[in-house]
Amino acid sequence: MPKRIVLLAAILPLGLAAAQAQLLPQVPVVGALPRIEGLADSALRLPGTAIDRLEDVRRATIDRLVRQHPREIARDPDGFAARAGEIVVDAPSDAWLAAAQAKGYRLLERGDILGVGFARLAVPANRSLKAAIGDLRQLGDAEVSADQLHFASGIAPVAAAPAERGAGPLVGVIDGGVAGAALSSGFATGAPRANDHASAVASLIAGSGIPGSGSVRGALPGARIASADVYGADPAGGNATAIAKALGWMVAQRVAVVTISLVGPANPLLGRVVAAAQARGLMIVAAVGNDGPAAPPSYPASYPGVIAVTGVDARNRVLIEAGRARHLDYAAPGADLRAAATGGRSMTVRGTSFAAPLVAATIARVYPALDPTAMPAALAQVDAGAVDLGARGPDPKYGRGLVCGTCRTPPAK
């Protein structure tokens, strides 16, 4: 029987260490994880107060990451994890940059993503992120923020498996690296590098790609994967700037649909790049995360126009750990399903991470090429095939309905 790894272990005594390993795809899996098999069903019976502790786990995880990587990770003024010692500025003018540099801020990078200008500045050694943001906001005429980190919203702690190669439409995966992807690029130190979480996400789109296994059927067999690795080997990988650059790359590669199973806070630069990518026809699908309903709204799922996806179990119950976004579009299987492992094996996965790629694949089936004018009609086709659950019509629990309910590859007996 495959190992069953579940995020809900985070709310049980051994779960804190497990959750810490789960939230960053590049962090090695801790030895305790194999012992938590079977906790998904028991967790569903836990009182609501226990589920509320998911937020405590999220905060404790950030504390631990800051302690372990003080040179790379710090808290932003709102308590979210961010790249230490760096500030991101949205569309700064030459005069603004000159004034910032006069205050001791060093220009690290200045660029343009899909017409959205930005700059990265190094913070003086004696200034915290909070103080630096305050300093630079006094200059006016530019949006200043920390470069917040985004974390994976599901668990797949096994060695990476290659994605199945095909001749179908390109579907983008912004995450860690995907072994065997048709197109790959890296946006972090050490990237691209095959990543377990990303490879499991890709397997749910195109299939497992394990020779002779046939164990995981993709929602869009024959799809080709375009992999943008925003983690690599960087402890501060998954930052907003990396994701923004990855979106720009997806548009350049003519990818029509991209799935992002990562969650973090709102970021001005990323929000503007999301809008710019959508204007060029990129359909962006994102998971709502696994931090529970008490957590802050997750991004990029909460940006306007992004297709926000929650997960359900085999009985079509919304995952009790599912996070929330400012809007919800669809539900899809996010538990009691298999994704790819190595050596002809498969594993049982759980999390909204694994619902999002099923929706992305469903959209890619009817929206294979960039075309902003065709986006509404494509979504109307997806809506027509969605199964209405819960309250009649669109609702905050299931969105516009269950998508790809038959795509689930059941766990091995």
The full set of domain ranges for the chain reads 7-70, 74-148, 151-407
Round to whole Å and give the CA distance between 218 and 353.
Answer: 15
β-strand pairing of 257-260 with 170-175: parallel
Residue 20 phi, psi (nearest 5) = -65, -40
| The pLDDT of residue 23 is above 50 | no
| The pLDDT of residue 172 is above 60 | yes
Percent of the chain with pLDDT over 70: 80
| The pLDDT of residue 162 is above 90 | no
| The pLDDT of residue 146 is above 70 | yes
- Cα 305-309-311 angle, rounded to 5 deg: 175
- Position 44 scores a pLDDT of 38
Q: Which residues of 190-216 are buried (b: 16+ CB within 10 A; e: fewer)?
A: ebbbbbbbbbbbbbbbbbbbbeebebb
Pick the CATH number of 74-148 from 3.10.450, 3.40.50, 3.30.70, 3.80.10: 3.30.70
- Position 56 scores a pLDDT of 74
- Position 287 scores a pLDDT of 97
* Catalytic residue ranges: 175, 197, 353
C-beta separation of 2 from 346 below 8 A: yes
Residue 109 phi, psi (nearest 5) = -160, 140
| The pLDDT of residue 111 is above 80 | yes
Q: Read off the pLDDT band of 49 (50, 70, 90).
A: low
| The pLDDT of residue 199 is above 90 | no
Round to whole Å and give the CA distance between 246 and 231.
Answer: 11
- What mean pLDDT comes out for the span 3-12? 31
Percent of the chain with pLDDT over 90: 64
- Position 222 scores a pLDDT of 87
Higher pLDDT, 263 or 199: 263
| The pLDDT of residue 50 is above 60 | no
Higher pLDDT, 349 or 356: 356
- Position 166 scores a pLDDT of 63
Higher pLDDT, 222 or 288: 288
Structure tokens at 412: 């091995």
- What mean pLDDT comes out for the span 79-83? 94
- What mean pLDDT comes out for the span 196-211? 80
Q: Which three-class secondary structure string do you get for the chain?
A: CCCECCHHHHHCCCHHHHHHHHHCCCCCCCCCHHHHCCHHHHHCCCCHHHHHHHHHHHHHHHHHHHHHCCCCEEECCCCCEEEEEEEEEECCCHHHHHHHHHCCCEEEEEEEECCEEEEEEECCCCCCHHHHHHHHHCCCCCEEEEEEECEECCECCCCCCCCCCCCCCEEEEEECECCCCCEEEECCCCCCCECHHHHHHHHHHHCCCCCCCCCCCCCCCCCEEEEEECCCCCCCCCEHHHHHHHHHHHHHCCCCEEEECEEECCCHHHHHHHHHHHHCCCEEEEECCCCCCCCCCCECCCCCCCEEEEEECCCCCECCCCCCCCCCCEEEECCCEEEECCCCCEEEEECHHHCHHHHHHHHHHHCCCCCHHHHHHHHHHHHHHCECCCCCCCECCCECCECCHHHCCCCCC
146 DSSP β-pair partners: 87
Whole-model pTM: value is 0.86
C-beta separation of 90 from 142 below 8 A: yes
- What mean pLDDT comes out for the span 317-342? 89
Q: Read off the pLDDT band of 226 (50, 70, 90).
A: very high
β-strand pairing of 307-312 with 257-260: unpaired
Round to whole Å and give the CA distance between 341 and 334.
Answer: 17
- Position 155 scores a pLDDT of 53
- What mean pLDDT comes out for the span 93-119? 96
- Position 210 scores a pLDDT of 43
Q: Read off the pLDDT band of 401 (50, 70, 90).
A: very high
85-104 tens-digit pLDDT? 999 999 999 999 999 999 99
Most confident of 153-157, 243-247, 391-395: 243-247
Round to whole Å and give the CA distance between 212 and 210.
Answer: 6
- Position 52 scores a pLDDT of 61
User: 151-407 belongs to which CATH class?
Assistant: alpha beta
- Position 47 scores a pLDDT of 47
- Position 161 scores a pLDDT of 46
- Position 140 scores a pLDDT of 84
- What mean pLDDT comes out for the span 283-300? 93
- What mean pLDDT comes out for the span 384-394? 92
Q: Read off the pLDDT band of 241 (50, 70, 90).
A: very high
Mean pLDDT value across the chain: 83
Q: How many CB atoms lie within 10 A of CB 167?
A: 8
Round to whole Å and give the CA distance between 379 and 392.
Answer: 19
Round to whole Å and give the CA distance between 220 and 166.
Answer: 10
Q: What is the largest CA-CA distance in the chain?
A: 65
β-strand pairing of 330-333 with 307-312: parallel
Same fold, 74-148 and 151-407: no
